[in-house]
Structure 1
Amino acid sequence: MKAEPAALSAGVAEVDDARVAARADTHLMRSLLIGIFLFMAIYALYFARAFFMPVILAFLLALTLTPIVRLLRKHGIPEVISASLLVLLSICIFASAGYLLSSPIIDLINNTSSIGQQLTERLAQLRQPFEKIMQISHQVEQLTETSQEPGIQKVAVAQSGIMSAAASNILSAGTSLTIIFVLSLFLLASGTMFYEKIIQSFARLSEKKRALRVVYDVEREISHYLLTVTIINAGLGAVIGLGLWALGMPNPLVWGVAAALLNFLPYVGALITIVLVTIMALISFDTIAYALLAPAFVLLCDIVEGQFVTPMVVGRRLEINAVAIFIAIAFWSWLWGFVGALMAVPLLVVIKVFCDHFDGLSHVGNFLAAQQTTVVEEDDNADTEPAKG
C-alpha cells in the first residue's frame, strides 16, 4: 500500500519533467524560428532596398501628415483633397529645396580640394604631427599620376562610366521619389479603409475593439511624434540658417537645411553639423576667434533644442536610450546608407510604441526606453503612503 503512493508520485514527477522538457524544446524552437526570420528579414531589406526604402519612407511621410489630414477632415475637407494638397505641397518644397541647394552644393563639391588646402593653411600650426603622413600621401599621388599614361580613349571611357553612373543614380532617385509620393498619397487618401480591414480580420467584438484601440493609439502617437519632430527640426534649421547668415557665413541656406536633416540623428547629427560649420567658418573668416562664433552658435541651438524644446514638446515618454540609438544608426546606415541613418530613430520610435502596446513585447519597449522615473515615483509613493495613514 505504501509503494503505490510512491510509484504514483514518481510517475507524476516524470510527467512534470516531460512537460518541462517539452516546454524547453518549444521555447528553443521558437527562438530558432525567430532568429531565422530576423536573419531572412535583414537579408531581404539589404538586397531589396530599392523596393523597401521608398515604401517605408512613404509610410513615414504618410504618418507625419496624418494629423493634418485628420484636422482638415474635422473642418469638412475630404481626405482625398487634403492628401492631394499636402503631397503636392511636399513635392513643391522638395523640388524648391533641391533647386536652391543644387548650385551651392555643386560649388562645394567642386571646391573640395581648395577648401582642404585653405583649411590646411589656416591650421598650419597643427600640421607638424601630420607632416610625414601628408608627404607620403603626396608621393603616392605622384607615383599614381606618373604610372598612368595619358590617352584620349582612356579619358573618354572614364567619363562615360561616370556619366552612365550619374544617369543611373538620377533615374533610381526619380523612381524612388515617385513611389514615395504616390504611395503616401494613396495611404493618406484611403481614410479608414485599413482600420476596417483590421476589424474584419477578428471574429469577436472584444477583439475588434482591442485591435482598433491599439492601432489608433499606435498611429496617433507615432504620427504626433513624427510631425512634432519634423516641425522642431525645421525650426532649428531656420534658426541656424538665419544666425549663420547674420554672422556672414557663406551658403547659410545649405547649413540650415543640413542642420534640419542631420538633427534626425541624435548626438551624431549635431556633431557632424558643428564639424562642417567649423571647417567652413575657418576658411571663410579672417580671424579664428570670429570663425569659432559660428560653431558656438550651432552648439547653443542644439543644446537648447535637445535639452529644452524637444523634451518639453514631445515629452519624456518616447525618449530612446543612447545605446539603442547608436546601434540603430549604425545598423541602418550599414543597411541603407545615409537615408537609412536618417530613418533609424523614427523607425526605432515606431518599434517602441508598437511594443509598448503588447504585453509579450513590453520587455523590448522597456529596453529601448530611456531611463524613466518610475522607480523614484514608486519610492515617493511608498514614502507618502505612511504619511497619509
Structure 2
Amino acid sequence: MKADPTASGAGAVESQDSRAEARADTHLIRSLLVGIFILLAVYALYFGRSFFMPVILAFLLALTLTPIVRFLRKHGVPDALSATFLVLLSVIFVASAGYLLSGPVIDLINNTSSIGLQLTERLAQLKQPFERIMQISHQLEALTETSQEPGVQRVAVAQSGILSSAASNILSAGTSITIVFVLSLFLLASGTMFYEKIVQSFSSLTEKKRALRVVYDVEREISHYLLTVAAINTGLGTVIGLGLWGLGMPNPLVWGAAAALLNFLPYVGALTTILLVTVIALISFDTVPYALLAPAFVLLCDIVEGQFVTPMVVGRRLEINAVAIFIAIAFWSWLWGFVGALMAVPLLVVIKVFCDHFDGLRHVGNFLAAQHTGVVEDEEISDTEKAAG
C-alpha cells in the first residue's frame, strides 16, 4: 500500500507551523521575562540607591585609576602601595576642593535672592515689551489676595526636625563617600584576582581565553575613556578658571570647578555653565558688552574641547549619539539625582563597550554609537528591491 504524498506534505506543513508557533511563543516568553527583569532592576536601583550608588561610583573610580596602577606595576610598584597612594591622593584632592569651594558656594546660595534682584535691575531695559504682561500678572495676584474671606487666616506649618534631617543627610553623604574610597582601594589593590575568578568560572580553555580577552578589552577601553575624559575636564576647568580670573570674574575657582564637573554631562553641562557665568557676569560688571565676554570665553572653550580635543584624544569610536545621552541623563537624574546624572554618560559608555563585544548585543551598541556603522548604500537597496520583486 502506497503512502499518500498529499497527506505527508500536509503533515510536514503542520509540523513546520507548530514549530514556528512554538518558536514565537518562546520568543514572546523570553521578551516578557526580559521586560520583567528590567522593571525589577530599575525598582531595585531606585529603592536601593543608598547601596548601589556608592558601589558603582567606587567601580568607576577604580576603572579610572586602573591605567595608573598598571603603569606603576610595570615599574615594580606593588598594587597595594600604588592603590593606597592614589586613593589617598584622591581623598586629599576631594577634601581640598570641598574646603576651598564650600565658602564661595555657600555665599552664592545665601545671596540667590539678591542676585535675582540685581539681575532684574540689570535687565530692566529689556523688560519694556513685557511690562504689560507683568502688570496683568500683578493685578491677578492682587485679586487673588483680596478674594479670600476676611475671616480666613493663613496657617504656616513649621517643619520640625530640620537640624536632625541635615545631620542625617551629612552622615549619609559621609558614609557613601567612605564606601566609595574604601571599596575603590580594595578593587585597585586586588590586582588580577577578579580576572582569575572569571577564568576559573569556565571549563574549556577556549572559553577561558575568550572571557579573559573580553574582560581585558572592556576594562582597558573603559578605563582609558574615563581617565582621559577626567583629565580633559580638569584641563578645561583650569583654562576656564584662569580665563575668568583674567577677565575679573568673582570666584573664578568656583566656575572652573563647575565647568570641569558639569562637563561630564555633554551639552547640558556646558549650557548650564554658560548660563551661570552669564548671570554672575551681568551683575558683576558695569557694561553688558564686557559682561558677555565671560560666557563667550566659556563657550569658545567648550567648542574647542567638544569639537577638537575630545574627539582627537578619545577617538570617534566611543562617541555616543545625542538622543541616547539625553535619555540616559534624564533617566539617571530621575533615579539618583545629580550624582546619577554625572554617572549617566560613563555608564552609557560601559554598556556600549560591553555590547560591542557580544554578537547578540551588537545591535544595542550600534544604536548607542554616534555614527551608524552599517549604512546601506542606495544602489544596494535598489538591487535588493529588484531581487525581491
Aligned mates of 2:184, 2:342 — CA distance in 1: 18
Whole-Å separation in 1 of the counterparts to 2:355 and 2:35:
18
**Cα deviation 1:58-86 (Å, max 9, x = unaligned):** 00000000000000000000100000000
Aligned mate of 1:135, from 117, 138, 157:
138
Instruction: Identify the residue that residue 333 of structure 1 maps to in structure 2.
Output: 333
Partner of 2:248: 248
Which residue does the alignment assign to 1:269?
269
Shift of 1:120: 0.2
- CA deviation map 1:120-142 (0-9, x unaligned): 00000233425237736976998
Q: Distance in 2 between matches of 1:230 and 1:378?
A: 41
**d(CA) in 2 for partners of 1:251 and 1:133?**
39
Between the aligned partners of 2:23 and 2:155, the Cα distance in structure 1 is: 71
Give 2:351's aligned amino acid.
I
Query: Residues 369, 18 of structure 1: CA spacing in aligned structure 2 closer, same or farther, 3 A cutoff?
Result: same
Structure 1 residues 7 and 372: CA distance shift in structure 2, 3 A: closer
Counterpart Cα distance in 1 of 2:144 and 2:125: 24
Aligned to 1:382: none
CA positional deviation for 1:374 = 6.2
TM-score (norm. length: structure 2): 0.91
1:44-123 equivalences under 5 Å are: 44-123=44-123
The residue that corresponds to 1:13 in the other structure is 13
- Letter of the aligned partner of 1:359 in structure 2? D
Cα deviations by residue, 1:239-298 (Å, 9 ceiling, x for unpaired): 000000000000000000000011001001000000000000000000000000000000
Q: Which amino acid aligns with 1:260?
A: A
**Matches of 2:197 and 2:261, distance apart in 1:** 35
User: Relative to structure 2, which stretch is displaced further, 135-144 or 109-118?
Assistant: 135-144
CA contact (8 A) 2:352 2:364 kept: yes
Q: 1-side partners of 2:198 and 2:319: how far apart?
A: 29
Of the structure 1 ranges 104-113 and 9-18, higher mean CA displacement relative to structure 2 is found in 9-18
Deviation at 1:371, TM superposition (A): 1.2
TM superposition shift of 1:311: 0.1
Q: Secondary structure, in 3 states, of the residue corresponding to 1:370?
A: coil
**Aligned partners of 2:180 and 2:137: how far apart in 1?**
45
Q: How many residues align?
A: 372
- 98-107 or 369-378, which moves further after superposition? 369-378
Equivalent position of 1:43 in the other structure? 43
The one-letter code sitting in structure 1 at the alignment partner of 2:99 is: Y
Compare the two structures and name the one with the higher helix fraction. Answer: 1
Q: Deviations over 1:207-254 (max 9, x none)?
A: 000000000000000000000000000000000000000000000000
- Where do 5+ consecutive residues of structure 1 fail to align? 380-389
What residue is the counterpart of 2:300 in the other structure? 300
In structure 2, distance between residues paired with 1:343 and 1:137: 44
Residue in structure 1 matched with residue 357 of structure 2 by the alignment: 357
Residue 235 (structure 2) aligns with: 235
Q: 1:12 to 1:232 in 2, by over 3 A?
A: same
How many angstroms does 1:5 deviate by?
A: 1.5
Structure 2 Cα separation of the partners of residues 37 and 203 of structure 1: 28
Distance 1:20 1:60, change over 3 A: same
Contact 2:366 2:372 in 1 (8 A): no
Residue correspondence of structure 1 range 100-249 to structure 2 within 5 A: 100-128=100-128, 129=130, 131-132=134-135, 135=138, 158=159, 161-249=161-249
Distance, in Å, in 2 between the alignment partners of 1:140 and 1:45 is 47
Q: Does the aligned pair in 1 maintain the 2:366–2:373 contact within 8 Å?
A: no
Aligned-partner residue type, residue 213 of structure 1: R
**Cα displacement (A) at 1:6:** 1.4
Sequence identity percentage: 78
In 2, the alpha carbon distance for the partners of 1:330 and 1:62 equals 25
SS in structure 2 opposite 1:195? Answer: helix
User: Aligned residue for 1:310?
Assistant: 310
Runs of 5+ consecutive residues of structure 2 not aligned to the other structure: 380-389
Q: More deviation in 366-375 or 207-216?
A: 366-375
Q: TM-score, normalization: structure 1?
A: 0.91
- Alignment partners' CA distance in 1, 2:321 and 2:100: 36
Give the counterpart letter for 2:135 in structure 1. Answer: K
Match for residue 322 of structure 2? Answer: 322
Change (3 A) 1:47 1:251: same
Q: Distance in 2 between matches of 1:289 and 1:349?
A: 40
User: In the alignment, what sits opposite 2:387?
Assistant: none
Q: Tell me the secondary structure at the aligned position of residue 264 of structure 2.
A: coil
Secondary structure at 1:352 match in 2 = helix
RMSD: 2.4
Aligned equivalents of 1:133 and 1:348: distance in 2?
A: 47
SS class of match (2:95): helix
1:169 CA displacement: 1.0
TM-superposed deviation, 1:161 = 2.6
Q: Write the distance in 2 (CA, Å) between the matches of 1:362 and 1:356.
A: 5
User: Corresponding residue for 2:369?
Assistant: 369
Cα offsets for 1:82-109 (capped at 9, x unmatched)? 0000000000000000000000001001
Relative to structure 1, the CA distance from residue 184 to residue 139 in structure 2 (aligned partners, 3 Å threshold; closer, same or farther) is farther
1:383 corresponding residue in structure 2 = none
Going from structure 1 to structure 2, the CA distance change for 1:41 and 1:149 (only over 3 Å counts) comes to closer
Preserved contact between residue 259 and residue 270 of structure 2 (Cα < 8 Å): yes
SS of alignment partner, residue 350 of structure 1:
helix
